[in-house]
Amino acid sequence: REVSLSLPTKNSDVDSFLKKTPKNFVVLNIGARLIEKQLTPDEYEEVIHTIQESGFVPILSYGPTEYSLAEKVASNTDSQLAPPTNLLALGYLMSKANAVVTCDTGPMHLAVAMQTPTFGIFVSTCPKRFGYSHPPHHALDAQAGWRSEFQDELRQWLRVQAENDAS
């Protein structure tokens, strides 16, 4: 299924943040409105390490109710918190990213609509029903629990994104 929106207009808060951010960054959207759709803090930290090992800078986005989770994860890793955003500013941030990694949330659909390569992690919902598996997107089925092999799947997907960015 194809989803597309016109790119949002510039956002001065996001632009100011991006001026201090390396060009090769991946947005990791932290949390979800429903707790059962989220990874644990330790699992988010594993994802951050994989993003870093793949040569990207992890930028953590979050909603108002996920700020404390994002702050906790950021304090335990070498990652950066994005500035607070509304929906349009989040879309703008995602449109500037090399890729987005997120659980099955509204921001996942926004990232796909921004035509940013998106790695969706489905913790409690069906990726075949709600995910995007056509390139450059990927839907990971983690309904049976997070496993370390998922890091390899993410690493391989990020490698493809890096190769596509280089060409």
Predicted confidence (pLDDT) per residue in 5-19, tens digit: 666 667 788 989 999
- In eight-state DSSP terms, residue 156 is H
With beta carbons less than 8 A apart as the criterion, state whether 43 and 140 touch.
no
Query: Mean pLDDT of all residues in the chain?
Result: 90
Q: What share of the chain is helix, strand, coil (3-state, %, to 5)?
A: 45, 15, 40
Structure tokens, 86: 């509304």
Determine what percent of the chain is predicted with pLDDT higher than 70.
95
- In eight-state DSSP terms, residue 5 is -
Q: Which residue has the tokens 């490698």?
A: 159
Q: Which residue has the tokens 């201090």?
A: 20
Nearest residue to 111 (alpha-carbon basis) of 87, 75, 141, 146 = 87
Q: Which residue has the tokens 């075949």?
A: 128
Structure tokens, 72: 């906790």
Got the DSSP string for 94-118? HHHSSEEEEESSHHHHHHHHTT--E
Sign of torsion, CA 62 66 72 76? negative
pLDDT of residue 129: 83
Structure tokens, 83: 């500035």
Predicted confidence (pLDDT) per residue in 25-44, tens digit: 999 999 877 787 889 999 99
Structure tokens, 132: 């995007």
